[in-house]
Chains A and B, each alone.
Chain A
């Protein structure tokens, strides 16, 4: 990391023309990983990367230069080049730097970076050994543990001088069941900002058994029917639907340029009155958390929707300038090779009042999605689609036969209004979110909930 004086030299060069603000983002990332396939260690890697990004703003226009070359003179040269690309505005002064403030939401007892890889190998072997002897239908088991530490410092011409450290670890176990030509998978992939104690406490055998059971159930399952029906989304990763169909449309990246169906909807009813949702980056030790965002602002616990009313957008600095409001501490980026923008952290639908059992019992016919895969959404039109990785038919208030191959399709703005029951069993799950500023760790979450009608794309008419 550079000292304050060097950072100021870069900022000086960046402000040599008419930018109204400049920022230096310095990052050091270390990571290591190990992967097993059927009990054998097939990959083991270690990496180190450091780099610097320099951002200049003039109104809502941005110039961003970055380099993996951390030589101060190279960076001053880059800052000057960047300054020459600023074409409007008037000269602005640089404020005195505050004292460096270090923050973190990591909650680490045992530093994963110091744990020998052999410990991870031994841990993952338990999953392999169990799965391969569990059932003849289980033909393959893959496991991986990856951990990384990232230190990111932000210094800007408004005097901000902050450094945030995140330290994450993620485990994944995937089992494959084979029957004839058919193969289906069961998967768990928890992630956390706790230390290696998370791995030591993880109920690996129980979770591997669940993966095996899912894979076996799905390989034996028939195809899901297609058509419009009631859909009950299980707690946890079911929240991906809210993340995609609503969360992205609340980001200033799209709202700021009016490319979102939630533009100008603040204070208005956008969801059923039993729906409230938050984006909370402050949960200590959680996978999607951080203490200081990538623009140097303090992270927040933001109420997005309260009883169906849109309360807040996710706003970064450029979004704030476009939308004439304040940033909400949600600016994130994959690494120094991306300029930051508004992103989600731990985003979830809050607990409601229904007992999850009653939600099923009150559904005459529909689809119960116990596990969801990924999905995507077009924030200008609201069109979304999601894969159901484990689904069951609901008949007469009971969970019946498993079905595979279902996709949920619809428009984000409609599905929120069609949520008619919200359970009380909120759970959040780790994932990665890809968008304009790269791939970042997030969690999605929700209690069990029901949508009165969604188009299910399956293979059976």
Chain B
């Protein structure tokens, strides 16, 4: 479905919506086209190409917002959308009002960031790169048995929002990702798996040597891993692990969670909740971000703000509804999720420190490096902050990275851990997350409980 057809449909839908009895109404259209390729055993084992779109309507009546969505844009669909959204309005009795929004000064935004480089994403360019990469991974070491997955994907698409108050804004995005994973077997028959990823906007900017170096460390560094003795350790959350860790508890920083009593941060804005080494910002237009997010899914202009500022809980993320309830302005973090709007971060940035990863290890002296946390969807109590997770990593011995460890659990409480951050590294990485990306370095914490094997 092209954007022009969608725009005409949406304009008609809004007009009919008003006539149908909605006080205000809004339509948003999200389309996506993508190419994806898997490489296996020296062949293109799978190639996918797609075009999908979805149109979502929401209408306001008596302070209640009814939703309905479809991917079929014809005259019957207008009736379907309006009738069902109205029926949904009729059963709702939310005590907090919702809003259809339009800022007179920012109602006709247009932000396109699709690059010419996107044209380079073809069957040919992906297969050449993928096959070369698979070969290079296998050539890294004799112990590597197979590259179990190697996937290259790109996608692009527009987002258009139109409402009865005059909002008419457009943004789009594009990006490429490469994920690869392999397995290796040691001389004693033990098997480990590991991998690496890359995200970017221009396939020619993929640096294979750099990718392979990290890939090698992520996979072969684990060989010979065994458990370690239970106890309390000084610990470095490697950048990727810190991203996983913070993401698992990030819901607590959303205003709706706080207002529903589902976050222990309720009423604590302005208080110290973490070590003064920790600053986390939401930066929609972050220069290093692949895709910038100038406005949210409610048409509100996004802004840069610190969520944690040198340990102080500066602000939660708000959408129009939660901001109204709190008596403040939306922070521009309202994004669609199912039949509603939830708060989500744009690009999250943990402010880096000055020390390199090796300097963090040296500072720790003795302890443990946590490289990968498993079971984050299960082993955490997102409300209380309690967690108990399977993890992998390395021991830190005499200020150096020591032997690899596996089959250990790390347990504790999120709110306690963030107060024990001693140092933040400079080794910042970016990982796709939420509406944008999560930028974070590694961090060193003073103590964490590890359960391992009592025999060691």
Contacts and interface: CB of A to CB of B under 8 A. Distances in A.
A380 interface: yes
Contact of B51 (A46, A68, A459): A68
Interface string B130-155: 00000000000000001010000000
Interface residues of B, number: 70
Interface string B282-305: 000000000000000000000000
B52 A51 contact: yes
B148 A380 contact: yes
A458 interface: yes
A409 B407 contact: yes
A259 B181 CA distance: 11
Nearest to A376: B375
Interface stretch (A57-65, A156-164, A199-207, A421-429): A57-65
Nearest to B85: A46
A176 B46 CA distance: 45
A211 B271 CA distance: 34
B207 to A, nearest CB: 27
A222 to B, nearest CB: 12
Contacts of A404: 381, 386
> B69, B193, B264, B374 — which one has the most chain A CB atoms within 10 A of its CB?
B374
Contact of A184 (B93, B193, B381, B411): B381
Given A62-B47, A374-B377, A376-B375, A41 B92 contact: yes
B354 interface: no
| Chain A interface bracket (under 10, 10 to 19, 20 to 34, 35 or more) | 35 or more
Contact of B72 (A48, A61, A184): A48
A400 B79 CA distance: 59
Interface in A349-406: 373-376, 378, 380-381, 383-387, 404-406
B152 to A, nearest CB: 14
B272 interface: no
Interface string B254-273: 00000011101000000000
A448 interface: no
A258 B146 contact: yes
Contacts of B193: 378, 380-381
Given A337-B52, A381-B192, A117 B91 contact: yes
Question: How would you classify the secondary structure of chain A's contact residues: helix, strand, loop or mixed?
Answer: strand
A140 B91 contact: no
A85 B390 contact: no
A184 B52 contact: no
A34 B48 CA distance: 35
B49 A78 contact: yes
Contacts of A385: 374-375, 378-379, 389-390, 409
Interface in A8-30: none
A233 to B, nearest CB: 15
Interface stretch (B37-45, B197-205, B235-243, B426-434): B37-45
Q: Which of B49, B93, B191, B380 has the most CB of A within 10 A?
A: B49
B70 interface: yes
A455 B407 contact: yes
B123 interface: yes
Contact of A47 (B68, B93, B409): B68
B345 interface: no
B327 interface: no
Given A46-B68, A47-B69, A182-B384, A64 B47 contact: yes
Contact of A409 (B70, B72, B390): B390
Interface string B361-392: 00000000000001101111101101011100
B91 A118 contact: yes
A62 B50 CA distance: 14
Given A45-B338, A376-B377, A227 B451 contact: yes
B384 A383 contact: no
24 contacts: A34-B91, A40-B95, A43-B92, A44-B92, A44-B339, A47-B70, A48-B69, A49-B69, A50-B71, A51-B71, A61-B46, A64-B49, A66-B50, A68-B53, A68-B54, A78-B49, A140-B262, A181-B384, A183-B262, A378-B193, A383-B406, A385-B409, A387-B378, A459-B411
Q: Which 3 A/B pairs are nearest by Cβ-Cβ distance?
A: A45-B339, A457-B409, A44-B88
Given A65-B50, A66-B51, A455-B451, 17 more contacts: A33-B338, A43-B338, A45-B88, A45-B340, A47-B339, A48-B70, A67-B51, A68-B51, A68-B54, A226-B409, A375-B375, A380-B193, A386-B378, A407-B389, A409-B409, A411-B407, A458-B451
